[in-house]
Amino acid sequence: MRMAIYIRRKILILVGIFTFLGQIAGLTTPWWVVIKSLDNRMVHGLWYSLQCDVSSGISFCESRTKVTDSIFGTTRVGYGLETLFGCVMNIMGTVFLVLYDPRENTSRAVMTGALSSALYVISGILTWVAVGSVSSEKR
């Protein structure tokens, strides 16, 4: 019985770490929005914007890193903060899961397990809200 509890805890820790890595990979991949006109092209990702002037087949691009330059305005700042807090909650959930000892039948063990689960749920909700707000702005 103790061996099964130990293995279950290790599996949960590994799942927590893979969840964090998956969240980071999913949040940092570029979502490209390309706006084209006859002589201009704007490329927007989650963390950056480029403006390219196209003439005679040659493209000159410049970075537009200011929030005022972006067509998304302050949505990018809100997205960055929400995803940052989501990742921090995910890390905290994994740390509390490492501290969780299901062999102890104390209120501390129960609260640590419940807190770990709650932090994972909060992390997921923050990420959904962030991605949803950016998706609604890009339409």
Q: Which of 85, 83, 116, 130 is nearest to 13 (CA)?
A: 116
> Is position 60 within any domain?
no
List 49's β-bridge partners, or say none: 44
Say how many domains are in the chain: 1
> Is position 107 within any domain?
yes
- The residue segments making up the domain with residue 130 are 2-29+71-137
CA distance 26 to 35: 23
**pTM higher than 0.85, yes or no?**
no
DSSP label at residue 57: T
Give the three-state DSSP class for 115: helix
Q: What is the pLDDT of residues 9-26, one digit of tens each?
A: 788 788 888 888 888 777
Q: What is the pLDDT of residues 43-58, one digit of tens each?
A: 666 566 677 776 666 6
> Is position 102 within any domain?
yes
